[in-house]
Structure 1
Amino acid sequence: MTSAAPGTTDDSTGIWATIRDAPLAVKALLVGVFVNKLGWFLQVFLVLFLTTSKGFTDVQAGTALGVYGAGSVVGLIIGGSLSDKVGPRAAVMISMFGMAGFVLAIAYVPSYPAVVVVVALAGAVGQFYRPASAALLTELTPKNRQVMIFAVYRLAMNLGTTAAPLIGAALVSISWNLLFIGEALAALAYAVVAIVALPKRRPVADTPADPVTGEAVAPEPTGGYLAVLRDYKYVLFLLCMFINAAIYMQYLAVLPLHMKADGLSTWWFSAVVALNGFIVITCELLVTKVVQHWPARMVAIIGFVLLGGGLAFYALPGGIAIFVVGTLLWTLAEIIAGPTMFAYPGMAAPQPLLGRYVGSAHAMFGLGSALGPFLGVWLWNSVGPQVWLWCGLAGAVGVVAAYFGMSSGTDEPAEEPVLDITPAAEPLPSESS
């Protein structure tokens, strides 16, 4: 299977061709993450559970949610290292089995300190799977299809995340315990997918095999995250991920405050958010079909121009029309650049450090998502609507970082996947001899 030349179209990289021809393991990852996100209840309902069911204060509940977010960032970093050391399949299994146990524990631990500890562990362990899943998608997908497969992966996550609050609300109406049981079952379902369908590493000539399992024993990556930090261009890309997340999150942090200050009802804010979600779910794959053939650096730069410009547009007077147009602009940034930005770590990473490159990118995006709302609200209280101009300036910094930190992403020919795509439930060649 060959890559299309840069700037040309290639039927083999279309939406349905990419999904149809994907290995079983890739399809399993897509199904697994969708099912897992259908049970994504903890972060959505944690504050409500701790205040109404456990009787903790609003401050205690908010602190617990912050601890969960901090644990998630740490978990992404650990997950990248774990994926490199034990393989993506094992990392997903550890993540999902651990998440199931910690989520169930939250419903039964008796004291607030115990709740905080378990929530932190759930946040950390529950994120191990993300770098592993992304690394596996990269390894099992030809380079010319990686942007599209990440767009499909994002769609599966978005669909599951959109439906999860509705399912969670239905479960809560019956029992809070059902909420945690439901999330644990969703995690276990993904673990089963990993056991049955995700591949083991393929033994190669220069790689020793485990005498018991027959699996290749991957050489220990040298340098760890220090090696990632020595890649100064990639560090600039990590800055891109942080800036992207930090200013993107202002639609949840500052936008509702601005619309309320302008006398617009909560309904209008909900409508703007729903507009973004509808466009992302319905249009991202179609847009990716075109932009996946563009140089990665150019896609990221266009994304930052639209993201920063769309948010800066909110600073203009004009009422609801300004909010709608601004939202359309940064939503266009999301559907153009999102899949490429999350596929890029796999393009830039040396094979032994793939998990760490992916994990560091996800961690920086998570850190930006956590700090962005705090910084945005602080600026709103300090300078009012001019906060949007600061977002535009941050977008300009992102443009510069992307220009100097990213390659085109189309310079290298497609490579063969490095993992055996035989489902784990079937014997590998080394096991059948």
Structure 2
Amino acid sequence: MSEVEQSTGIWQTIREAPAPVKALLVGVFVNKLGWFLQVFLVLFLTTSKGFTAVQAGTALGVYGAGSVIGLIIGGSLTDRIGPRAAVMISMFGMAGFVLAIAYVPSYAAVVVVVALAGAVGQFYRPASAALLTELTPQNRQVMTFAIYRLAMNLGTTAAPLIGAALVAVSWNLLFIGEAIAALAYAAVAIVALPGRKKVAPASAAAEPEPKGSYLAVLRDHKYVLFLVCMFINAAIYMQYLAVLPLHMKADGFSTWWYSAMVALNGFIVITCELLVTKVVQNKPARTVAMVGFVLLGGGLAFYALPGGLAIFVIGTLLWTLAEIIGGPTMFAYPGMAAPKPLLGRYVGGAHAMFGLGSALGPFFGVWVWNSAGAQVWLWCGVLGAVGLVLAYFGMAPPAASKAQDLAPVAEVAEVVEGGKA
């Protein structure tokens, strides 16, 4: 292995990343610090607006549906107008729609604005991931995505606490805070993220406008298998939020013990994911994903065993290990597999399938729990095995030419700085 391939440590990756990558990571973190809407929407609609719990839950579902659609649109926008412009549209639009939620007069208007906020607010995710892929050499992409996930997790963890403090003062302040966070990321995009031509190699200046659509993505049959992997991964992963609390309550454990399981997962992910990524980042993506599915399905299936609290702790440790081993690779893989003209759509499709699995997984999980009890965990194990098989056939190693498309850090930085001159 060459010296360049070995230079993929955590701090070295951060230190040698181009300035736009560092700015993007800061922007995403700041934006996630203001991630209040999804967390507090139900409480706001029931306590401040006076809507029923059913109406509030429906609005939250509409927000989730809008988010999935927004990820698909965001991938297309990224390919058409570039990542920087897509981020700017997303953040300016999100700021406006979030503020509108606090002031629209009727439930119908609330639902429309919430749907738009969910959709437009997600444009940035495919754009950010595509830009990270474009600006990062292939041997550092998995570590860069692990750092990206850490920035998002830290912001998402702190956001509810900040939101609770704002709500204690005023509900309006909550929405103003989220709008400010979105505008802060928009400012980062304006000042620090390169435009489309600035990240392209000089030889590409004369290339025609990229053509293609999501139909072209669907014609990549191997990648479609990977998309199904993303859906399965999210659908069974979300059972720790949907079914696990019901199971622990049925077994006589208090809410405190369930909270301890969630906290255990969060602590390990935040403190250990970068260290684990340092070990697995240069392994074949297919192998890492398969190991992840073994641990995810196995960890959830472990919950079906008798044994009390120890079973819940061990199962949580197993699927948490799956998350920190497979997560960065799974989210970096779309950039490895995508042809450049369709990078945004490949990334957007993967994020959309993960979002769809996150939305539908809890519904089906609770339904199976109500019908068959703890057998739901065995079905999670079966689906984990299905994901393993799909990963084996769908995640072929990237073409050799793909590595040549990704400029080394020094070259990318030179292109970016040259574009600013």
Equivalent residue for 1:207, pick from 196, 205, 227 = 205
Question: 1:207-246 residue pairs with structure 2 within 5 A?
Answer: 207-208=205-206, 219-246=208-235
The alignment's C-alpha RMSD in Å is 1.9
Q: Is the 8 A contact 1:296 1:410 kept in 2?
A: no
Deviation of 1:408 after TM superposition, in Å, equals: 3.1
Question: 1:5-404 residue pairs with structure 2 within 5 A?
Answer: 10-200=5-195, 201-202=197-198, 204-205=202-203, 207-208=205-206, 219-404=208-393
Deviation of 1:407 after TM superposition, in Å, equals: 1.6
Query: Which TM-score applies when normalising by structure 2?
Result: 0.95
Aligned to 1:428: 419
- Specify the SS of the correspondent of 2:105: coil
- Percentage identity across aligned positions? 81
Deviation of 1:182 after TM superposition, in Å, equals: 0.2
Corresponding letter in the other structure for 1:397: V
Deviation of 1:220 after TM superposition, in Å, equals: 3.6
Q: Is the 8 A contact 2:18 2:412 kept in 1?
A: no
Corresponding letter in the other structure for 2:29: F
Aligned to 1:211: none
Q: Which runs of 5+ in 1 are unaligned?
A: 209-217
Deviation of 1:422 after TM superposition, in Å, equals: 7.1
Query: Which TM-score applies when normalising by structure 1?
Result: 0.93
Provide, for residues 224-253 of structure 1, a one-character-per-residue CA deviation record: whole Å limited to 9, x for no partner.
000000000000000000000000000000
Provide, for residues 232-289 of structure 1, a one-character-per-residue CA deviation record: whole Å limited to 9, x for no partner.
0000000000000000000000000000000000000000000000000000000000
Corresponding letter in the other structure for 1:38: L
Aligned to 1:417: 407
Q: 1:365 to 1:83 in 2, by over 3 A?
A: same
- Specify the SS of the correspondent of 2:312: helix
CA distance in 2, matches of 1:131, 1:428: 23
Shift >4 Å, 4+ stretches: 8-11, 409-412, 418-424
Q: Which runs of 5+ in 2 are unaligned?
A: none
Q: Is the 8 A contact 1:138 1:146 kept in 2?
A: yes
Aligned length: 415
CA distance in 2, matches of 1:300, 1:9: 24
Q: Is the 8 A contact 1:249 1:369 kept in 2?
A: yes
Q: Is the 8 A contact 2:248 2:258 kept in 1?
A: yes
CA distance in 2, matches of 1:225, 1:414: 25
- Greater percentage in helix: 2
